[in-house]
Each structure stands twice: as structure tokens, then as C-alpha cells.
Amino acid sequence: MSKIFTGIIEEIGKVKNIKHQSASSIITIEANEVTKGTKLGDSIAVNGVCLTVVKISENLFDADIMAETLRHSNLKTIQKNDSVNLERAISPLGRFGGHIVAGHVDDLGVITDFQKEDNAVWVTIECDPSLLKYIVYKGSVALDGISLTVANVTNKDFSVSIIPHTKQETTLLKKSIGEKINIECDVIGKYIEKMLFFNKEKPPAESKINISFLSENGFL
């Protein structure tokens, strides 16, 4: 069953080890909060990527990263001692503070600008048009697992405004211009698009109503 996250980061963890295999990886992360009450098989979002816990101790957990995840997320470039955003899957009785985040990263964007405005910082992200079409002004987007509100959209990029709390509790403003970031677009838009355009490209079925049919059935 798919797990749901909210994009409210619980803590910043540290990568203690990452072992690269032929097409996949095993990551070990040090954390204090997300390991509490977590069991084998539970889900933790790491930089917005839903990973399954395969080994756990008091302040460490291991997770497998499959090849498909490495192709579409910044976990492929993660290194030992890097900081990562962490969030446990929401419990049935948990408060829903962000938006619906599946932990299925759509693809990568590139940070192109930081601009300070009073106590906030504007971050601009450039991404492929295939993602940008789902980015809506004042809508929601998850960046490295952080639930954020889109503050501006152009035909090539979008911007979010980071408040001091988000700066302190996430890794976003520790990144650099040119660095890649995980993007998960709001799933609602993708569902709407699927329903609107499902089977639209298929040619319409040939009608069985023709002159012969009308004549045979007494209409002519």
C-alpha cells in the first residue's frame, strides 16, 4: 500500500554511509527523531524519496535505493556526511500540516537563484516543461520533500519563498546555485490530466450507423 507524507520535515539526518552496487545503492542514515517507533518495513522520505527501512537501530537506519529512484532523484549524487531531509509516513491519527506528498519524485530541477527579501529568501528552480506544466501559482510543490507554496511561475522556471523556520529546519538554503533538487508535483493535477486526456489519442470507433443499416431497419 502506498504511503503518504505531508512535506513537513521532522529533522535533518546525516548520511553515514552509502554503498553503490551495479545499478542500485544501500544508504545508512543517522537520525534521532524518525527512528522513534519505526519498524522494519516502515517508510521514511529521504529528500522527498519514499524509502523502506531494511535495518534499524537506536539512531541509524538502512534503506535500499533502486535504480529507477537513482535515475530521477538527487540520491544518485549523495555522499557520506551529506545532510538530508527526513519525514516518516503519516499515521492515521497524525495532523496533516502540508499537502499530499507521495514520496515519488517526478524528476530533478536546478537551483538558479537565491534572493533575500526582508526575513524571507526567494529560491528559483528551473525545470523541464514536462514538470513545469504541473507547477501552479499559489499551488503546492515538494522540493527535496519540503511542502512549499509556489510564489511565481514563468515559462522556464518557478520560485518559492522560504520563511526563517523552513530555513532552520531543512537543508534547502544550504544548497548552492547549480545544485539539483528533487521535485514532486502536486498529484491532484496529474490525476486531472489523466482523466481529461485518457484515450483522447485513440481514433474514434467506426460508427455502425450507415445507409445500409438505416435501410435494413426501416428508416429509409
Residue 114: CB atoms within 10 Å:
15
Question: Does residue 185 sit within a domain?
Answer: yes
pLDDT, averaged in runs of 10, over the chain (220 residues):
85 96 95 95 97 95 96 95 96 74 96 97 96 94 97 97 96 97 92 79 56 57
Residues 76 and 147 in one domain: no
pLDDT at 216: 65
pLDDT at 207: 52
**Do 41 and 53 form a contact (C-beta atoms < 8 A)?**
yes
Residues 79 and 156 in one domain: no
Question: Does residue 99 sit within a domain?
Answer: no
Question: Does residue 95 sit within a domain?
Answer: no
pLDDT at 1: 47
Residues 20 and 81 in one domain: yes
Query: What's the burial of 147, exposed, middle or buried (CB within 10 Å: 0-12/13-18/19+)?
Result: buried
pLDDT at 117: 96
Question: Does residue 220 sit within a domain?
Answer: no
Kind plus residue range of the DSSP H or E element containing 44: strand 43-46
pLDDT at 178: 98
Give the range of the structural domain holding residue 113, as residue numbers without chain letter: 107-197
Question: Does residue 70 sit within a domain?
Answer: yes
* CATH number of the domain that residue 55 is part of: 2.40.30.20
pLDDT at 100: 87
pLDDT at 192: 84
Question: Does residue 1 sit within a domain?
Answer: no
